[in-house]
Chains A and B, each alone.
Chain A
Amino acid sequence: MQHLILKVTTKILFAPIIVFALYVQFHGDYGPGGGFQAGVIFAVAFILHAFCFGLEQTRKVIPLKALIIAMVVGVMFYAGTGVATMLLGGNFLGYDQIAPESTHHAGQHYGIILVEWGVGVAVASTMMTIFYLFTGREPDIDQEDW
């Protein structure tokens, strides 16, 4: 039971960090915030978890393979929104096509929420992947051999 205080604190903080990430995420289209910042904050929760419980434990929560799929899903969400508006008859990322009858450009809101969601997923999973790969990397030269 090493670092009991750190482990308990991490457990307490974990959920609020994710809630805060989601707050920044959904706040993004009206005010400061958005997918990029939200993604980083979301990843921070898991990085904190890895710091206190070890990388192996975090890998059990989210394996690397899932992160790679999440990266793809994030980008596809963004690009897919663009392609969807093209299929609906507008230009690439022409959000107005999502809600054409709207009198106050509601489509712009829907569009940016979808795109920001894609950005958030992609950034969070990329941040975690970079962290996984850096911390999980075996050194080329053994510490003993220097």
Chain B
Amino acid sequence: MNLAAQLPVLPVVIPLVTAPIAMLLPNGRAPWAFATIVSWLTFAACAFLLQAVLGAGVISYELGDWRPPLGIEYRIDLANALVLFLVSGIAAVVFPFAYRSVQLEIDARQTSFFYCALLICLTGLLGVTITGDAFNVFVFLEISSLATYALVAMGARRDRRALTAAFNYLIMGTIGASFFVIGVGLLYQATGTLNMVDMHDKLVGQSSRVIDAGFAFIVVGIGLKLAMFPMHLWLPGAYTYAPSAVSAFLAATATKVAVYVMIRFIDTVFGFQFEFLGAAFTWVFLPLGLAGMFIASLVAVFQDDIKRMLAYSSVGQIGYMLLGLSFGTVEGLTASLVHIFNHALMKGALFMAVACVVLRAGSHSVKAFAGLAKRMPFTTWAFIISGMSLIGVPLTVGFISKWYLLQASFAAGHWYAGFLIVASSLIAVLYVGRIVELMLLREPAEDGPYAIPAKDAPLSMLIPMWFLVLANIYFGLHTELTGGIASRAAEALMFMAGGAS
């Protein structure tokens, strides 16, 4: 076997082959240790892949030795290499983190199933990102989604509402996937191919109702999956009632991958003089992105459950990514890609901090956070630093995202969008500041259910969490990896879009 030649398929094959083995391991520590090692191997494969793409440009892999466009092609360019690196990196941090949290929150008889589902979810997310085949996207999207529904429902041991949240997510996710597959079907009818690049080549110059309808179906379908503002209602419930480690993993990966799919379809498949696209940018992505930024952030201010607050904040942050996309420029796309990466870092760290609090206080209500600085200082400061990153304070990744986004909005001539970005960041100050005030200035509860002993989270959770928190600062100071790769990726995507028409 030539390992270098097989590298492009390894990020999918490693977790896929090992997930069933995790199911056979005895409940307890073994499946966790196994899944952790697998996530590290997968991360290594993705890191090598990113390096290879940086050196060699686009890498194409023919699955089953069938030549594309007939066969399924794995096509890795800078954009998806970056997302692969991100998703597998988050997995490599969250999986070791999960042990104690899962031990508390999940039925002990389900641990091997839990880690199996987690690995399958990882397989799906990486598969969606890596593939260059439109139908294959649907297949992997379903693989990851089905695993996610099960993972969310496993939160039912602590709170039965996880079951309705998972069911809600199941219905909305399935509607989204159906819309997506109808859209792909219509495009297949118009072009006779499922390979994205080939589809693009055949769509250029065509214009018909079938293609318009296909585009609309795909945008709505993926819009549901990525929780685009008015279609986000499944997300707060799912993130709130899922086991904490699952919330951390999903918040940092699942919606990001869906945003990537949206970018991929808009810029690779529909990246040509397609009159619908301009209208979609102006009348769908721009207003909905802005509405999400404001309305979802405002809703977040009034939540008394931290996980729900962070979930609404995620919907708002997705608004930023859609806003960047809607400019239709290289700068805008760069800002979107940078924010995909950076938001994953901050939301992952924030949800991990909440998981630490849940471990000690047994609750993710606002009340459990009162006076936390005295009880769990390391967790508190992890929350504060990543919260500042969420707001966009300089020296953190959040600032880098906002900076790129501001530059893009002024360059695109949407100067008002620039002001709105700053204004919505102020709402983030409100909802993060509210919790910071609680943690730092209030006295901890002396008695009652929230009177928790002064004991920080165990090291097995603190180390991965602080790893992500420090990544928030590191990538805020060194933007070559994120900003550099993202702008090259955006240029490549837009060149393809502009070059072929």
A88 vs B6: C-alpha distance when bound (angstroms): 12
Q: Is B61 a contact of A91 with CB atoms below 8 Å?
A: yes
Q: Is A83 a contact of B13 with CB atoms below 8 Å?
A: yes
How far does the Cβ of A115 sit from chain B's closest Cβ, in whole Å? 10
Residues in chain A near residue B17, CB distance under 8 A: 76, 79-80, 83
Chain A residues 36-74 with CB under 8 Å of chain B are 68-69, 71-72
Give the number of chain A interface residues (Cβ < 8 Å). 21
Tell me, yes or no, whether B21 is within 8 Å of chain A by CB: yes
Residues in chain B near residue A16, CB distance under 8 A: none
Q: A83-B13, A86-B1, A86-B6 are in contact. Are A92 and B63 (CB under 8 A)?
A: yes
A79 vs B63: C-alpha distance when bound (angstroms): 13
A80 vs B62: C-alpha distance when bound (angstroms): 18
Q: Is B20 a contact of A75 with CB atoms below 8 Å?
A: yes
Q: Is B21 a contact of A72 with CB atoms below 8 Å?
A: yes
Which residue of chain B has the shortest Cβ distance to A74 in the bound complex?
B20
Contact segment of A6-14, A24-32, A93-101: A93-101
Chain B residues 57-72 with CB under 8 Å of chain A are 61-65
Contact pick for A94, options B19, B20, B21, B65, CB 8 Å: B65
A35 vs B24: C-alpha distance when bound (angstroms): 23
A83 vs B6: C-alpha distance when bound (angstroms): 10
Q: Is B62 a contact of A91 with CB atoms below 8 Å?
A: yes
Tell me, yes or no, whether B16 is within 8 Å of chain A by CB: yes
A76 vs B19: C-alpha distance when bound (angstroms): 10
A88 vs B1: C-alpha distance when bound (angstroms): 6
A86 vs B64: C-alpha distance when bound (angstroms): 10
A88 vs B19: C-alpha distance when bound (angstroms): 23
A90 vs B63: C-alpha distance when bound (angstroms): 10
A79 vs B18: C-alpha distance when bound (angstroms): 10
Q: Is A69 a contact of B65 with CB atoms below 8 Å?
A: no
How big is chain B's contact interface, by range? 10 to 19
Q: Is B64 a contact of A94 with CB atoms below 8 Å?
A: yes
Chain B residues 1-28 with CB under 8 Å of chain A are 1-2, 6, 9, 13, 16-17, 19-21, 23-24
What is the count of residue pairs linking A and B with beta-carbon distances less than 8 angstroms? Answer: 50
Residues in chain A near residue B23, CB distance under 8 A: 68, 71-72
Tell me, yes or no, whether A15 is within 8 Å of chain B by CB: no
Q: Is B6 a contact of A76 with CB atoms below 8 Å?
A: no
Q: Is A91 a contact of B63 with CB atoms below 8 Å?
A: yes
Residues in chain A near residue B19, CB distance under 8 A: 75
Residues in chain B near residue A96, CB distance under 8 A: 65
How far does the Cβ of B165 sit from chain A's closest Cβ, in whole Å? 17
Q: Is A91 a contact of B9 with CB atoms below 8 Å?
A: yes
Q: Which of B1, B2, B20 has the most CB of A within 10 A?
A: B20
How far does the Cβ of B42 sit from chain A's closest Cβ, in whole Å? 15
Tell me, yes or no, whether A34 is within 8 Å of chain B by CB: no
Q: Is A91 a contact of B64 with CB atoms below 8 Å?
A: yes
A72 vs B62: C-alpha distance when bound (angstroms): 26
Q: Is A79 a contact of B6 with CB atoms below 8 Å?
A: no
Tell me, yes or no, whether A82 is within 8 Å of chain B by CB: yes
How far does the Cβ of B127 sit from chain A's closest Cβ, in whole Å? 12
Chain A residues 83-142 with CB under 8 Å of chain B are 83, 86-96
Residues in chain A near residue B21, CB distance under 8 A: 72, 76
Encoded as 1 (CB less than 8 Å from any A CB) or 0, chain B from 17 to 48 comes to 10111011000000000000000000000000
Q: Is A92 a contact of B64 with CB atoms below 8 Å?
A: yes
Which residue of chain B has the shortest Cβ distance to A111 in the bound complex?
B64
Told that A88-B1, A92-B9 touch, could you supply 5 new A-B pairs with CB distance under 8 A?
Answer: A83-B17, A86-B6, A91-B62, A92-B63, A92-B64
Closest 7 CB pairs of A and B: A94-B65, A93-B64, A72-B20, A75-B20, A79-B17, A92-B9, A91-B65
Q: Which residues of B contact A (CB under 8 A)?
A: 1-2, 6, 9, 13, 16-17, 19-21, 23-24, 61-65
A-B contact pairs, 17 of them (CB 8 A): A72-B20, A72-B23, A72-B24, A76-B17, A79-B13, A83-B13, A86-B6, A86-B13, A88-B1, A89-B2, A91-B61, A91-B62, A92-B6, A92-B13, A94-B64, A94-B65, A95-B65
